[in-house]
């Protein structure tokens, strides 16, 4: 069974399939917006949908290494970079949708809103921290930085996930909705706990 899974993950079709799966949420949101299927407030639904998929992408990206070690499927590692790039892409679209649909792309108003509302500041901070990771998500960057420095830089994804979760919790706190943030919080706690345990074990 493991051999068959490993062969499937190593196949030439695996990355294109993952690419299409990562695009599917965006395609659904775009279709929903075009077909007026996003509810009474489509702009808010689009902004929040893109933000939700950013957080989910971060969680899945962080889960790759634990899953690889627990299952023994080393081939899972080849998908981590694509998942990380898609997470950044959804974060960028989330920021763009907020800036365009909420703020009309008025830079001064966006800057004032970031400074005024802490939860937006947290989200913007997470996006800024993702920039250097996205900018170094190719093989040449690994050679230029050196593998050790590259790995150290990309460990920032854990801090990014925490900040993104705080952004999400803070945003939902205004409506006293903590059920979904609690699920993400439990997943992230498990992933961080695994990393701590792995470091102590090593």
Q: How far apart are CA 29 and CA 49, in angstroms?
A: 7
The DSSP annotation for 99-113 comes to IIIITTT-HHHHHHH
Q: What is the pLDDT of residue 84?
A: 95
* pTM of this structure: 0.94
Among candidates 65, 28, 56, 94, which has minimal Cα distance to 154?
A: 65
Strand, helix or coil for residue 115 = helix
Q: What is the pLDDT of residue 129?
A: 96
Q: What is the pLDDT of residue 79?
A: 94
| pLDDT tens-place values along the chain, 202 residues long | 777 888 888 899 999 999 999 999 999 999 999 999 988 899 999 999 999 999 999 999 999 999 998 888 899 999 999 999 999 999 999 999 999 999 999 999 999 999 999 999 999 999 999 999 999 988 888 888 888 888 888 889 999 999 999 999 998 876 677 788 899 999 999 999 998 887 887 6
Among candidates 67, 68, 60, 66, which has minimal Cα distance to 84?
A: 60
Q: What is the pLDDT of residue 5?
A: 86
Q: What is the pLDDT of residue 42?
A: 92
Q: How far apart are CA 71 and CA 76, in angstroms?
A: 10
Q: Please, which residues have CB within 8 angstroms of residue 16's CB and are 6 or more apart in sequence?
A: none
């Amino acid at each position: 069974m493991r051999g068959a899974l490993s062969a499937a993950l190593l196949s030439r079709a695996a990355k294109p399939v993952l690419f299409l799966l990562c695009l599917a949420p965006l395609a659904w949101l775009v279709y929903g917006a075009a077909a007026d299927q996003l509810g009474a407030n489509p702009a808010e639904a689009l902004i929040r949908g893109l933000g939700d998929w950013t957080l989910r992408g971060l969680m899945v990206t962080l889960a790759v290494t634990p899953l690889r070690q627990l299952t023994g499927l080393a081939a899972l590692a080849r998908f981590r970079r694509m998942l990380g790039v898609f997470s950044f892409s959804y974060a960028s679209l989330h920021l763009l949708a907020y800036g365009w649909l909420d703020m009309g792309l008025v830079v001064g108003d966006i800057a004032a809103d970031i400074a005024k509302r802490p939860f937006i500041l947290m989200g913007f901070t997470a996006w800024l921290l993702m920039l250097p990771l996205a900018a170094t998500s190719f093989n040449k960057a690994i050679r230029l930085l050196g593998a050790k420095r590259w790995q150290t830089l990309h460990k920032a994804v854990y801090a990014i996930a925490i900040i993104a979760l705080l952004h999400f919790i803070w945003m939902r706190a205004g409506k006293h909705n903590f059920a979904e943030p609690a699920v993400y919080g439990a997943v992230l706690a498990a992933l961080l706990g695994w990393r701590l345990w792995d470091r102590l074990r090593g």
